[in-house]
Amino acid sequence: MSAAPRVLALVTDAFGGSGGIAQYNRDLLDALVESGAASAIVAVPRHGAGVADLPAGIRQMRARRGRVRYAVAALAAAVRLRPGIVFCGHLYMAPLAAVIARLTGARLVVQTHGIEAWPPPSRLRRAALEQADLVLSVSRCTRGRVVGWTAIAPERAAVIPDTVGPAFVPGDGGGFRRSLGLGTERVLLTVGRLDSRERYKGHDRIIAAIPGLVAGGHDVVYLVIGEGDDRPRLEALARATGVAGRVRFLGTVPRDRLVDAYRAADLFVMPSTGEGFGIAFLEAMACGTPALGLAVGGATDALADGELGTTVAEDGLAAAISRLLTRSRPDPRELSARTHARFGREAFRARVGEVFGRLWAPA
């Protein structure tokens, strides 16, 4: 194909949205244009607020709620755009994306993230994914699960991991600590939604470990950034465990404050058993803060199999926290540089261009 194709992107949310999937969609669509793999992109979101200032080459329609309204809007956009690629940002929209790709003669790319793609899906979604010219996953774990339950050829399944932005760099977190009235306490930090459907993220495992850490001589405070309907349960758990005074629920914080929070922490820990990847690991390490996760799912990719962060078995969590708090902290700038070299925007853009280039490569 001589010219870069136009892309129709069917996404849950992207520009104006919140959460890891919205961030991934923004990063991927931006990289498609910047790498030259797409000439123009029209995104059709299910959710998210309107955005006035979009990257060059990208247009986003207003969000459409409801399956029928969304399908009609996506079909109308496809007729106007005549895309060369239909990008499906979530497995549950794959049947609609497959129909549009077939009607327009476009190549179909389906994105998979984490637990939505780990068990075999419905027959309709599996058939749609098997129609795809390219299936993307954010981690080796998710790719392995998808290849395991589908009939696609392994060479049509590729990993494009999350990326971390240039704002996440080391700096002084002292102001953030002082704003919370913290002194010499050792700060543990988790960033993630407090969703009752996502209890696998492991906030309760950290709360349960705090009494033992204190008994072992660690003066710790646990900061929890994120909001959701599971917060009351976690607050009650902290009270029942006797550590309510050491657990601070900070809710949602703006991006600049989030960077300061990472810098203020002594250890970022997210003992998730269901993480598709875990962009918060990257953000913490890019800010120079050591990160700890379980050796489960996509977290091993984010922590680079122990090269950047630390992975442990679930029963070794408390001991690992204690050990990492006792060790000397690694050089923040070196950790940040290695994280950006592996997962920064330049590496991400190159990977996106390489993988999407396969769509037009000779057989």
Is 174-341 in CATH node 1.10.1040.10?
no
Going from N- to C-terminal start, the domains of the chain cover 6-163+344-360, 174-341
DSSP lists the bridge partners of residue 248 as 223
| Matching fold, domains 6-163+344-360 and 174-341 | yes
How far is the CA of 38 from the CAs of 94, 104, 275, 290, in angstroms? 20, 17, 29, 36
Q: Is the pTM of this model over 0.85?
A: yes
* Second CATH level (architecture) for the domain 6-163+344-360: 3-Layer(aba) Sandwich (3.40)
How far is the CA of 325 from the CAs of 209, 214, 314, 316, in angstroms? 13, 12, 18, 14
On whether the CB atoms of residues 5 and 38 are closer than 8 A, the answer is yes
**How many other CB atoms are found less than 10 A from the CB of residue 254?**
8
Going residue by residue through the chain (363 aa), what tens digit of pLDDT does each one get? 457 999 999 999 999 888 889 999 999 999 999 999 999 999 999 987 777 789 999 999 999 889 999 999 999 999 999 999 999 999 999 999 999 999 999 999 999 999 999 999 999 999 999 999 999 999 999 999 999 999 999 999 999 999 999 999 999 999 999 999 999 999 999 999 999 988 999 999 999 999 999 999 999 999 999 999 999 999 999 999 999 999 999 999 998 899 999 999 999 999 999 999 999 999 999 999 999 999 999 999 999 999 999 999 999 999 999 999 999 888 999 999 999 999 999 999 999 999 999 887 654
Q: H-helix or E-strand containing 42?
A: strand 40-45
Residue 183: which of 221, 145, 210, 151 has the closest Cα? 221
On whether the CB atoms of residues 135 and 112 are closer than 8 A, the answer is yes
